């Protein structure tokens, strides 16, 4: 880490009436970039080739998500940015449509779903499938990470491809996500472990969102990506099953969200409880993110958060709200606006 001391899914088309990526509402012009998942999703569908052309982008494969994951778990296979973007968009689709992880899904259906998410907080168009739109609204808080496909792919790369990946030592690989949303980082931890030669991989996510928790649990289990614990990660007793077990990886999907506010309830309390419960067990773990630089406008304060300070702000700022400005991932400091930038060219 750099020195920071300076400061049941049936036929998809029959089951849903998608617009196929065509925007039936008037186009909005002259909008500046926004920090909402809806705008991020719209950026994806406008940058990708129109699905009605029948031509999928170069990064997209016709294989089922399960097959793509199996290939990524093979240490002899390449982990390319294209592969990760391919998995990210299919994961988004599979989250919304149960059973889709095992199917070959036409690219146009995936782009159509992104288009729906781009306006899911508005009124439905006449041709919209009501059930699909309701799911998007119900799971909107966690889907925002996946709605920016480039960002989702980038965080997967950071977890899977880090240079600090240890080779299997004979014991189980134990990974956790203390801020799980969709479970995509649990999947990334599984891929990381399999590529490192671990046969026994145990990954656990902690979530208190009852609305999305059941869906995340079902998808994670169907992908063989671990277990979701509906337990408050801000309480030390949530981590009881990890006591006495060496932890290899600690992730926090919340941080990958679009402009999240870091507060006591959604960030600091979780890390405090985690370290109180299993800090010793995680002493040799790798992290996503490795570090965070964040700023509080109201308190006019900037903080550096990492394992060195247990991801805690100074005591006088424990009740402050911080906006992440940069993440330490892949061994380097990355400004937040650059998260996902490496993948944008594949959407052109």
Which of the four pLDDT bands, split at 50, 70 and 90, describes residue 167?
confident
With a pLDDT cut of 90, the percent of the chain lying above it is 74
Distance CA 41, CA 21 (A): 11
- Among residues 56, 32, 183, 182, the alpha carbon closest in space to that of 112 is found at 56
Distance CA 263, CA 322 (A): 7
Whether 170 has a pLDDT exceeding 70, the answer reads: yes
Which of the four pLDDT bands, split at 50, 70 and 90, describes residue 210?
confident
CA–CA distances in Å: residue 343 to residues 6, 73, 154, 155, 338: 30, 21, 7, 11, 10
Question: Per residue in 217-262, pLDDT tens?
Answer: 999 999 999 999 999 999 999 999 999 999 999 999 999 876 679 9
The residues of the chain that CATH labels 3.40.50 are 163-347
Please state at what angle helix 130-138 crosses helix 81-96, rounded to 10 degrees.
Answer: 110
- Among residues 254, 266, 252, the alpha carbon closest in space to that of 320 is found at 266
pTM metric for this prediction:
0.86
Number of helices and strands in the chain (H, E):
11, 9
Whether 318 has a pLDDT exceeding 90, the answer reads: no
Q: Which CATH class is domain 163-347?
A: alpha beta
């Amino acid at each position: 880490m750099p020195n920071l001391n300076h400061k049941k899914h049936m036929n998809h088309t029959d089951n849903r009436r998608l617009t196929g990526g065509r925007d039936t509402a008037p186009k909005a012009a002259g909008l500046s970039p926004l920090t909402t998942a809806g705008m991020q999703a719209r950026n994806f569908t406008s940058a990708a080739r129109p699905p009605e052309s029948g031509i999928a982008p170069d990064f997209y494969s016709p294989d089922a998500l399960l097959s793509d994951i199996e290939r990524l778990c093979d240490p002899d296979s390449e982990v390319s940015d294209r592969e990760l973007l391919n998995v990210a968009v299919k994961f988004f689709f599979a989250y919304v449509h149960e059973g889709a992880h095992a199917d070959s899904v036409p690219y146009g259906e995936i782009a159509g779903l992104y288009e729906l998410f781009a306006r899911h907080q508005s009124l439905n168009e006449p041709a919209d499938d009501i059930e699909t739109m309701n799911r998007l609204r119900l799971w909107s808080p966690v889907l925002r990470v996946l709605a920016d496909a480039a960002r989702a792919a980038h965080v997967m790369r950071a977890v899977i491809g880090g240079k600090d990946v240890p080779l299997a030592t004979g014991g189980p690989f134990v990974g956790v996500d203390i801020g799980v949303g969709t479970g995509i980082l649990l999947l990334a931890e599984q891929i990381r472990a399999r590529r490192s030669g671990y046969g026994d991989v145990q990954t656990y996510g902690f979530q208190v969102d009852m609305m999305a928790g059941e869906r995340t649990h079902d998808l994670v289990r169907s992908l063989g990506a671990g277990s979701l614990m509906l337990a408050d990660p801000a309480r030390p007793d949530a981590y009881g099953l990890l006591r006495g077990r060496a932890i290899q990886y600690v992730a926090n999907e919340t941080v990958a969200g679009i402009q999240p506010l870091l507060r006591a309830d959604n960030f600091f309390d979780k890390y405090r409880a985690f370290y109180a419960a299993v800090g010793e067990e995680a002493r040799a773990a790798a992290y996503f993110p490795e570090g965070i630089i964040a700023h509080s406008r109201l308190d006019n304060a900037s903080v550096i958060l990492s394992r060195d300070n247990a991801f805690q702000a100074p005591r006088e700022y424990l009740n402050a709200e911080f906006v992440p400005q940069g993440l330490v991932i892949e061994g380097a400091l990355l400004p937040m606006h650059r998260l996902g930038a490496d993948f944008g060219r594949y959407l052109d």
